Structure 1
């Protein structure tokens, strides 16, 4: 005869029952579709999924496409500048706010506010701001500086840098908050002892403060690299990959080849390359965190 469920066993099973639908949905709609995309990347899928195995043909085709080369080069430019400028600007702002200045809470909120916006809103706003006909160039020329030009968004060679500007504006406040939390966690007695020993402010930050911000640097790098690799909405809203393919990135390439050019197999292959790149960034970070906890 089955034993009645006791109060203790009910308390043990209740969290599992509550979480099981979420776990099942994640298993199906996240990891299930990841495996399905991986499978499609080895098939001859075009407009609709196909199950005819072609091996690595899609990957060979992918790496022969000039558009993919442009997308990867743009990602390297965008990712390098985006991560570097965000870290430098975020660290500078965090150091300034750490000086216990007046209205720190208000200033911190101003810096963090862009992070509350979606990348679509940011892209549209910066598209208007950078448009030579209605944006910064038109306003400055209306003030009398008729020789002023700032048409990067229309320039094939400079358009990718407008994406960097918009992305840095949105996320540098988040990086600032990350570094500020790290600065507030540094032992003040250690800093005072160094000051008593005659250490200059520059030496203080170079030898004590910056090295102790390693976890904050690592966290910021992982988050920013992840956002850079999967950047899609900002690029689409700001430049739509143009002019031409000047601001094409792997995320826009994947969407274009999957849903516009009806090359689902090639699009799936590009998605897998992006997934492996993100994994190459996140897995060492997780391994490092787990090793430190042990």
Structure 2
């Protein structure tokens, strides 16, 4: 009998050890399931209602989406997103790649330079926006500094110019994200087989040609990963806009996230805000889902 009890206790102990990881993960999994995916579903349903200050659960179809695409401010914010996102992604990838190639030459002080380039990514977008707001302020920033050197006709007032305000977002965002892109490319460059480079050098190929023709084409996955990450950052950009331009002048630098916040929390239009949030989610999914599909397909056939 004692032996049976010992076996039973041992069996329970083995079962508990086998399922311990599930018990540890379960609370986090349930919280994510409820607070993330549950609220995504709730927001999606709200986008099909006439909810304003308080939720209304009567289904009204695509009314909010029709109204949304008739809103001039929403169209302007989407246009700003296209300009901001295109420039931000292109410049950050190009600049990050150039920095990675520069550091890949085993230069002196590489560790310090790598830290300097990476440091902006450790700062929140609020801090980045505030710092660049000081730098680009016509009354106390770059414009004032250059004018103090005697160039009194110099102007750099993009921050207060409706036609150029969105480009100040690009400057600040590239400054923050390019170091992260550099780290991705540098890690990939360090994984390139050195024998290939030596063989190309023996054939008389220059360093620039080696990178352009041999190395960079092999970094396609890094380019794709950088594109996906930066696209996600661009679409959800909110705090940078608030800290740097406040969406102004007027709504010249509004992005969809700022429109969603304005409609939901200031104008008490829950249905309209939910519709804009779902459009943003659909845009992110349109980028991420094909990427994940291609990655899983490569692993399956690799």
- Equivalent residue number for residue 129 of structure 2: 123
- Equivalent residue number for residue 46 of structure 2: 40
- Equivalent residue number for residue 134 of structure 1: 140
Q: Does 1:198 align with 2:204?
A: yes
- Equivalent residue number for residue 29 of structure 1: 35
Higher mean Cα deviation, 2-11 or 250-259?
Answer: 2-11
* Cα distance in 1, alignment partners of residues 113 and 125 from structure 2: 22
Tell me, what secondary structure is at the counterpart of 2:231?
A: helix
Tell me, what secondary structure is at the counterpart of 1:213?
A: helix
Structure 1, residues 28-87: CA drift from partner, whole Å, max 9, x if none? 100000000000000000111111211000000000111111001000000000000001
Higher mean Cα deviation, 106-115 or 282-291?
Answer: 282-291
* Residue in structure 2 matching 1:186, options 192, 203, 209: 192
TM-aligned CA deviation for residue 285 of structure 1? 1.2
TM-aligned CA deviation for residue 138 of structure 1? 1.5
Q: How many residues matched?
A: 294
> Within 5 A, what are the aligned runs for 1:53-68?
53-68=59-74
- Equivalent residue number for residue 213 of structure 1: 219
TM-aligned CA deviation for residue 8 of structure 1? 2.0
Tell me, what secondary structure is at the counterpart of 1:134?
A: coil
Flag structure 2 segments of 5+ consecutive residues without an equivalent: none
Q: Does 1:163 align with 2:169?
A: yes
* Residue in structure 2 matching 1:241, options 231, 243, 247: 247
Flag structure 1 segments of 5+ consecutive residues without an equivalent: none
* Cα distance in 1, alignment partners of residues 280 and 161 from structure 2: 27
* Residue in structure 2 matching 1:279, options 281, 285, 297: 285
- Equivalent residue number for residue 16 of structure 2: 10
Structure 2 length normalisation: TM-score? 0.95
Rg larger for: 2
